[in-house]
Amino acid sequence: MLSLISLSHGSGGELTHQLIDRVFMSKLGNPILAEMDDAARLRDSYCDWCFTTDSFVVKPLFFPGGDIGRLAVCGTVNDLCVAGAVPAFLSAGFIIEEGFETRRLHDVVDSMKEAALESGVQVVAGDTKVVEKGGADGLYINTAGIGKIPPGRKISASMARPGDAIIVSGTVGQHGAAVMLARGEMSFRGRIESDVNPLRALTNALLNACPEIHVMRDPTRGGLATVLNEIARQSAVSMLINEQSIPVSSEVDSICQLLGLDPLYLACEGRVVIFLPAPLASKALETLRRLPAGRKAAIIGEVSGRAQRWDGGAGWQGAGRQVGQVVLKTTAGGYRPLPMLAGEPIPRIC
Amino acid sequence: MLSLISLSHGSGGELTHQLIDRVFMSKLGNPILAEMDDAARLRDSYCDWCFTTDSFVVKPLFFPGGDIGRLAVCGTVNDLCVAGAVPAFLSAGFIIEEGFETRRLHDVVDSMKEAALESGVQVVAGDTKVVEKGGADGLYINTAGIGKIPPGRKISASMARPGDAIIVSGTVGQHGAAVMLARGEMSFRGRIESDVNPLRALTNALLNACPEIHVMRDPTRGGLATVLNEIARQSAVSMLINEQSIPVSSEVDSICQLLGLDPLYLACEGRVVIFLPAPLASKALETLRRLPAGRKAAIIGEVSGRAQRWDGGAGWQGAGRQVGQVVLKTTAGGYRPLPMLAGEPIPRIC
């Protein structure tokens, strides 16, 4: 049987993980890549560096709250921030479709400039390729980023521990909903602003206040639900999430109800999920809420134990295996597993 | 007038340089980016790092001597090598067209694995995006790379000095010719192997033998002629190149004569151009020729002076401006300017 790449392989969900495991990790794997954090940690004799990359294929290129340029800077900066690194340098690679308006390229690069200034990073390397009409959809951008990790800091998706509180820094799903609406394919109107923003101020304040943070991650492709599952797997823990506590704006909530979408699977581009020892949760929450971008921060759940499974009415059970489960306590008061994104409801949101 | 991006903006020649100056440099410019070397030099208190990126859109994806995977590793590794850095880490970002055969993705990643092993680098960060059918031409890959520069080493396209000898490490134009033929659009058959290879062994041997090297550069897009012009501009020197001394394989020569192409504008992906004080040229040449990849190395010219112009019969004249000229002494014995690539004879060769 001929196996073909599908849009779901780029969703950030189950199929993306399969592709990574079977193709990339199995062939290119090494101890650094195997850590599977948002940024690679390069250990050096003097200090540790962080290195990460993302390609951006968002459609449309311009949407309320941002554009592909802002996204390309913030996306990579944020991957460095959630690794606990201080973002410093970016590279930018452009793949442009022949016939693209130079004026729009100027607009995109203006956005990159602004986002780079906000993030405190310099673009120090670049590349431009042009492909024939039909060879790309306007413009794709890849950014790679380098940051420095202060000595002694260790933040990783594999560090979640039983007893950790789980915090999200703001409303979820706004970027995914904004991009979806901006495509104009819906039969109704609506305007939702993307949350695309550099996380640097938030993560910096958090790490100053609570250096004991175990995990930070930005819930981009696949949304909050997918990122929680990634952390559950990498840390081999299970967790209980309280649906009622998850901040969702009323606009995103309405759109999701209308379209039968779940905001927990819609991408954010300016939010961070934090795991830290429960006694520190209120301090972290206060720190976040003092910043404009963190006003809606909330504690949304807790890590229940190492590799446990929620077994319906019987509660948490020893799982006898290494991979943990994410369980959602629903607004209605029931419990259900909250799996990783399986299909691809909205392609090309980043 | 509406200005649109054309294929020539991606040629690596004049229009690419205009686009870089007017859009990228004018908005994102900073002292590191302004050095315009193949890799950015990141100065740190302990040691210097090198950082570079390239996107690869080669068509076809597989060609004699290599494929997009090998190219994506070697291209970025070589940009680090010619900066005098020891390549260490790569990131890889994949943009895949929906419907791409998984088997071919495996082949590409196998090539990347092999090229990474040959180059002594680890792929430590990655990203996968999938776009709808028609949104890309099969597969595009971006790689970014990090290397370390040994203390005291300073290699840059701005370091060419009057009196320097100019060496090329092997035959030119093979990659460009190989990719062109592999497209099968020509009315004749022919098979030329690309020279795509990591330069690490060559540049390492060269720097050990001749640490006084001023400039190294790999003549990729735009070929040897374009790279010489870049160096002339960045170093503000002029140079005289001896056409007869430039190594060109008989296959590439035949194809070029048949199609009216100039091998000096065809891309190489495993060659290096070296500028160094003339008294060291024979030592560098010996070093190169001892290695299989350097057997055809040759001295092809010399740096004539700071910002001089060749004025026909009158010889070199003070130019009164900062930008130097590249002059070719032709096989026929005449002299003519050898300008930077102006159009785009063969798009998507890397």
Q: Using pLDDT thresholds of 50, 70 and 90, give the confidence band for residue B36.
A: confident
Q: Is the pLDDT of residue B320 over 60?
A: no
Q: CA dist A322 to A31, A232, A304, A305, A340, Å?
A: 19, 10, 14, 11, 16
Q: Nearest-CA distance from B48 to chain A in Å? A: 12
Question: Which residues from chain A sit within 8 angstroms of residue B40, using beta carbons?
Answer: 89, 91, 124-125
Close Cβ partners of A145 (under 8 Å, ≥ 6 residues apart): A39, A50, A51, A52, A53, A76, A77, A79, A80, A87, A89, A90, A91, A121
Name the strand (E) or helix (H) holding B317. strand B316-318
Q: Which residue of B has its CA nearest to A38?
A: B125
- Supply B32's token pair: 């590191």
Q: B346 phi and psi, to 5 degrees?
A: -135, 95
Query: In terms of DSSP bridges, do strands A308-310 and A316-318 run parallel, antiparallel, or are they unpaired?
Result: antiparallel
Q: Is the pLDDT of residue B319 over 80?
A: no
Cα A182 to Cα B87: distance, rounded to the nearest angstrom:
42
Question: Which residues from chain B sit within 8 angstroms of residue A16, using beta carbons?
Answer: 128
Burial of B342 (0-12, 13-18, 19+ CB in 10 A): middle
Per DSSP, the three-state class of A42 is strand
Question: In chain A, where does DSSP find H-type helix?
Answer: 14-19, 26-28, 68-81, 102-119, 174-182, 200-209, 223-235, 250-259, 281-289
Cα A318 to Cα A341: distance, rounded to the nearest angstrom:
25
Question: Which residues from chain B sit within 8 angstroms of residue A122, using beta carbons?
Answer: 30, 32-33
**Among candidates A53, A101, A137 on the partner chain, residue whose Cβ is nearest the Cβ of B125:** A53
Q: Do A51 and B131 touch (CB under 8 A)?
A: no
Question: Which residues from chain A sit within 8 angstroms of residue B126, using beta carbons?
Answer: 20, 24, 28, 33, 53
Q: Nearest-CA distance from A10 to chain B in Å? A: 5
For residue B1, the tally of other CB atoms under 10 A from its CB is 3
**Among candidates A2, A49, A53 on the partner chain, residue whose Cβ is nearest the Cβ of B144:** A53
Answer yes or no: are the C-beta atoms of A252 and A266 closer than 8 Å: yes
* Predicted structure pTM score: 0.95
Q: What is the pLDDT of residue A85?
A: 96
Which residue carries 């109107």 as its tokens?
A: A189
**Among candidates B6, B49, B135 on the partner chain, residue whose Cβ is nearest the Cβ of A137:** B135
pLDDT (mean) for B337-349: 87
For residue B150, the tally of other CB atoms under 10 A from its CB is 12
Interface test with B, best of A20, A21, A28 (most B CBs within 10 A): A28
Close Cβ partners of B121 (under 8 Å, ≥ 6 residues apart): B73, B77, B87, B88, B89, B90, B145
Q: What is the DSSP letter of A21?
A: I
Selected residue with higher pLDDT from A2 and B218: B218
Question: Which residues from chain A sit within 8 angstroms of residue B134, using beta carbons?
Answer: 134, 137
Cα B112 to Cα A23: distance, rounded to the nearest angstrom:
11
Which residue carries 């062109």 as its tokens?
A: B180
Q: What is the pLDDT of residue B229?
A: 96
Q: What is the pLDDT of residue B188?
A: 67
Q: CA dist A206 to A209, A231, A271, Å?
A: 5, 19, 13
Which residue carries 């065809």 as its tokens?
A: B266
Q: What is the pLDDT of residue A35?
A: 87
Q: Nearest-CA distance from A347 to chain B in Å? A: 8
Q: What is the pLDDT of residue A320?
A: 47
Question: Which residues from chain A sit within 8 angstroms of residue B53, using beta carbons?
Answer: 91-93, 125-127, 142, 144
Question: Which residues from chain B sit within 8 angstroms of residue A124, using beta carbons?
Answer: 30, 32-33, 40, 42, 51
Q: Which residue of A has its CA nearest to B34?
A: A124
Q: Using pLDDT thresholds of 50, 70 and 90, give the confidence band for residue B321.
A: very low
Q: Which residue of A has its CA nearest to B144?
A: A144
Q: Nearest-CA distance from B349 to chain A in Å? A: 10
Cα B217 to Cα A192: distance, rounded to the nearest angstrom:
48
Q: Using pLDDT thresholds of 50, 70 and 90, give the confidence band for residue B307.
A: low
Q: What is the pLDDT of residue B312?
A: 66
Answer yes or no: are the C-beta atoms of B289 and B274 closer than 8 Å: no
For residue B322, the tally of other CB atoms under 10 A from its CB is 9
ipTM of the complex: 0.94
Q: What is the DSSP letter of B340?
A: P
Question: Which residues from chain B sit within 8 angstroms of residue A99, using beta carbons?
Answer: 4-6
Q: What is the pLDDT of residue B323?
A: 59
Q: Do A146 and B146 touch (CB under 8 A)?
A: yes
Q: What is the pLDDT along chain A (350 residues), one digit of tens a residue?
A: 579 999 999 998 999 999 999 999 999 999 999 888 889 998 877 778 999 999 999 999 999 999 999 999 999 999 999 999 999 999 999 999 999 999 999 999 999 999 999 999 999 999 999 999 999 999 999 999 999 999 889 999 999 999 999 999 999 999 999 999 999 877 666 789 999 999 999 999 999 999 999 999 999 999 999 999 999 999 999 999 999 999 999 999 999 999 899 999 999 999 999 999 999 999 999 999 999 999 999 999 999 865 566 666 666 666 444 468 999 999 999 999 999 998 877 889 99
Q: Do B124 and A92 touch (CB under 8 A)?
A: no
Question: Which residues from chain A sit within 8 angstroms of residue B16, using beta carbons?
Answer: 128
Specify the range with the lowest mean pLDDT, choosing from A40-49, A234-243, B225-234, B261-270.
A40-49
Question: Which residues from chain B sit within 8 angstroms of residue A45, using beta carbons?
Answer: 46
Which residue carries 């540790």 as its tokens?
A: A48
Name which of A95, A83, A12 is nearest A50 in CA terms: A83
Name which of B5, B39, B63, B123 is nearest B267 in CA terms: B63
What does chain B come to in residues?
A: 350
Q: Which residue of B has its CA nearest to A96?
A: B5
Q: CA dist B122 to A34, A94, B73, B119, Å?
A: 12, 24, 10, 9
Question: Which residues from chain A sit within 8 angstroms of residue B123, using beta carbons?
Answer: 28, 30, 33
Q: Do B23 and A105 touch (CB under 8 A)?
A: yes
Q: What is the pLDDT of residue A306?
A: 59
- Supply B265's token pair: 């504008």
Q: Nearest-CA distance from B239 to chain A in Å? A: 27
Round the average pLDDT of chain B to a whole number and report it: 92
Q: What is the pLDDT of residue A87?
A: 97
Cα A138 to Cα A124: distance, rounded to the nearest angstrom:
24
Query: In terms of DSSP bridges, do strands B237-242 and B326-329 run parallel, antiparallel, or are they unpaired?
Result: parallel
Q: Is the pLDDT of residue B325 over 70?
A: yes
> What is the count of residue pairs from A and B with beta carbons less than 8 Å apart?
269
**Among candidates A28, A110, A127 on the partner chain, residue whose Cβ is nearest the Cβ of B116:** A28
DSSP A203-223: HHHHHHH-TT--EEE---TTH
Q: What is the pLDDT of residue A185?
A: 76
B138-151: pLDDT as tens digits: 999 999 999 999 98
Q: What is the pLDDT of residue A97?
A: 97
Question: Which residues from chain B sit within 8 angstroms of residue A183, using beta carbons?
Answer: none
Cα B246 to Cα B248: distance, rounded to the nearest angstrom:
6
Contacts 24+ apart (CB under 8 A), A258-263: A258/A188, A259/A186, A261/A345, A261/A346, A262/A223, A262/A225, A263/A172, A263/A173, A263/A177, A263/A223
Q: Nearest-CA distance from A243 to chain B in Å? A: 30
Selected residue with higher pLDDT from B46 and B182: B182
Q: What is the pLDDT of residue B107?
A: 97
Q: Write down all domains in chain A, each with its CATH number in brackets.
A: 37-149 (3.30.1330.10), 164-337 (3.90.650.10)
Q: Which residue of B has its CA nearest to A106?
A: B23
- Supply A307's token pair: 């590799």
Strand partners, A68: none
Q: Do B130 and A51 touch (CB under 8 A)?
A: no
**Among candidates A23, A96, A105 on the partner chain, residue whose Cβ is nearest the Cβ of B109:** A23
